[in-house]
Amino acid sequence: MPHLTDQLSAYLDGTLTPEEAAAVASHLAECAECRGTLDDLQAVRNLLRAVPDRAPHPSLLPRTLARVGAAPHRKVAPRWMIAAAGAAVGLALLLQVRLLPTPHTDRAAGIWYFQQHAVFAAAHPMTDVALASYLSSVLPYEVLREWSATPQNP
């Protein structure tokens, strides 16, 4: 039978559910080792309660505040620098993305866009997220369903 050492403190505090407390009490009735551990926990708790409270030294707060003020501060990048870096990354991403030309009128618009994005994604492997986003937002489900249902010529 496993010992309940991880639940004994909670049992002593009275924070267990009634079902858990009943299970621990049942285990304590049969396990002398857990009863000894519970007695030790209770003795430590009684000793801690017997220790008199001491008020902190009056100079503790000023000394602590002085030490906190003297501690080296971490340098934080200015907000304008963070905004400039974000704008630079955004501009770099925009320069990497090509806008797709308009589809030909003699082709199914959804399939044509899909083919163009597939070619672009093959040439630029980091665009798989953009392709998935595009396909989920632009292509109607009916177009993909009809396209996959038609037999493909090899």
Whole-number percent of the chain with pLDDT over 70: 63
Q: What pLDDT is attached to residue 154? A: 46
What sign does the dihedral 146-147-149-153 (CA atoms) show?
positive
Q: Given a cut of 50, is residue 133 above it in pLDDT?
A: yes
Phi-psi region of 14 (alpha: psi -120 to 50; beta: other; left: phi over 0): left
Q: Residue 32 domain-assigned? A: yes
Q: Are 120 and 135 in contact (CB under 8 A)?
A: no
Neighbours of 31 (CB within 10 A): 17
Q: Residue 58 domain-assigned? A: no
**pLDDT digits 0-9 by tens, 58-90:** 898 899 888 888 877 777 778 888 888 888 888
Q: Between 46 and 108, where is the model more confident?
A: 46
Q: Which of 101, 105, 106 is nearest to 117 (CA)?
A: 101
Q: Residue 71 domain-assigned? A: no
Mean pLDDT for the stretch of residues 117-129 = 64
Give me 39's structure tokens.
Answer: 């007695």
Instruction: Look up the pTM and report it.
Output: 0.37
Q: Residue 67 domain-assigned? A: no
Domain that holds residue 126: 99-154
Q: Residue 73 domain-assigned? A: no
Mean pLDDT for the stretch of residues 89-106 = 63
Q: What pLDDT is attached to residue 2? A: 78
Q: What pLDDT is attached to residue 29? A: 92
The total number of residues written for the chain in this structure? 154
Integer angstrom CA distances of residue 58 from 52, 68, 70, 71: 18, 17, 20, 22
Look up tokens 């980091």; give the residue.
126
Q: What pLDDT is attached to residue 115? A: 72
Q: Given a cut of 80, is residue 116 above it in pLDDT?
A: no
Q: For the CA atoms of the chain, what is the radius of gyration?
A: 35
Q: Residue 66 domain-assigned? A: no
Q: What pLDDT is attached to residue 16? A: 92
- Which has the minimum average pLDDT: 18-27, 44-53, 86-95, 104-113? 104-113
Q: Residue 133 domain-assigned? A: yes
Q: For residue 107, what pLDDT band results from cuts at 50, 70 and 90?
A: low
**What is the domain count for the chain?**
2
Q: Residue 116 domain-assigned? A: yes
Q: Which of 127, 128, 102 is nearest to 113 (CA)?
A: 102
Q: How many CA atoms lie within 13 A of 34 on its CB side?
A: 20
